[in-house]
Structure 1
């Protein structure tokens, strides 16, 4: 059985869920494109070594702004690196807008939890976007679930550049 025609390397489960969701929505099931959650960028060199000499011709990395220099050094000329403005959640929140993200939170049955966070004194000075970003990261597994849910709510004709480009890099 031949290996994948392309590989997308991402930081974690939320990034993988978003890329998988967007690939399916664009009509290309990712069966021949392997999406690998690194569980931290420091695992990038090891993942690249695992691909070895039989690595697919197309390798793309989606990374957060803070990891760009590290990811580019580790990747070298082996592939392309696409960088989120801050991180994946920031890209999704900016693309959808706070009101639409709140709609997704409500559809997931977690609006009460978001409202409880908003009422906390330490959160009162945060913008709606900052509150949503915080909300997505405070419970284990929430980022991964919302990676897919928020990607499903995006307008495919107006994807954030890093997401659109990484999909294009591997032909999805």
Structure 2
């Protein structure tokens, strides 16, 4: 979605707050987590916007938050994209300009904590990694089996490029090998989790966007 399209959608739906995410898989995971935890995003007028990557976040923040529509914002991002997120929030005056290097920012725990305090939560390393760790390898394999893809996964895992990798890495690559699978699996992996075991980044972004202003 383009920033202008997001603005039009926010106005048309009467959005009261927006969650910015990198892609459709993240959007599906946020919405699935809301359903699991009893949060009605439609009733709360919370719009989840897929930006098509983190590099353009400054444009979305500027159009949807201050100085644009002025809506409360929260966000979910992969930890490697922290530089884009930080700079996007700097542009609207939420942080002073960061003077260190990108690598320093990536390794700076307080910088990530500052972003989380503003409602922007990091997936470590990304959404798939968060879900695999939360669920555990055996349970993820059960989900793959239930979806009728165990034979495909085994074929993938035995390819020369992947056969020496840990199963966690094989699953991570398999879940991201095509866009349809990347979008399809996160809600199903979330459904397989025990209640209360949802990744902290997903729970955190919902708590942030639904928090009372001030």
Structure-1-length-normalised TM-score:
0.91
Closer, same or farther in 2 for the Cα pair 1:122/1:53, shift >3 Å?
closer
Closer, same or farther in 2 for the Cα pair 1:127/1:2, shift >3 Å?
closer
Q: Which residue of 1 aligns with 2:180?
A: 141
Mapped partners of 1:21, 1:162: distance in 2: 13
Larger radius of gyration: 2
Mapped partners of 1:27, 1:152: distance in 2: 13
Deviation at 1:168, TM superposition (A): 0.8
Unaligned runs of 5+ in 1: none
- SS, match of residue 7 in structure 1: strand
Closer, same or farther in 2 for the Cα pair 1:160/1:94, shift >3 Å?
same
Q: CA RMSD in A?
A: 1.8
Deviation at 1:120, TM superposition (A): 1.1
> Does the alignment pair 1:103 with 2:142?
yes
- SS, match of residue 14 in structure 2: coil
Return the structure number with greater helix share: 1
> Does the alignment pair 1:167 with 2:206?
yes
Mapped partners of 1:140, 1:33: distance in 2: 25
Question: Residues 18 and 150 of structure 1 are in contact (CA less than 8 Å); yes or no, is this contact kept in structure 2?
Answer: no
> Does the alignment pair 1:39 with 2:52?
yes
Mapped partners of 2:33, 2:200: distance in 1: 13
> Does the alignment pair 1:65 with 2:79?
yes
Shifted more, 31-40 versus 150-159: the winner is 150-159
- Alignment coverage as a number of residue pairs: 171
Shifted more, 37-46 versus 150-159: the winner is 150-159
Question: Residues 13 and 37 of structure 1 are in contact (CA less than 8 Å); yes or no, is this contact kept in structure 2?
Answer: yes
Mapped partners of 2:195, 2:16: distance in 1: 23
Unaligned runs of 5+ in 2: 1-11, 96-117
Mapped partners of 1:150, 1:27: distance in 2: 18
Q: Which residue of 2 aligns with 1:53?
A: 68
Question: Residues 19 and 48 of structure 2 are in contact (CA less than 8 Å); yes or no, is this contact kept in structure 1?
Answer: yes
Question: Residues 58 and 87 of structure 2 are in contact (CA less than 8 Å); yes or no, is this contact kept in structure 1?
Answer: no
- SS, match of residue 179 in structure 2: coil
Structure 2 counterpart of 1:75, from 89, 95, 107:
89
Question: Residues 121 and 205 of structure 2 are in contact (CA less than 8 Å); yes or no, is this contact kept in structure 1?
Answer: yes
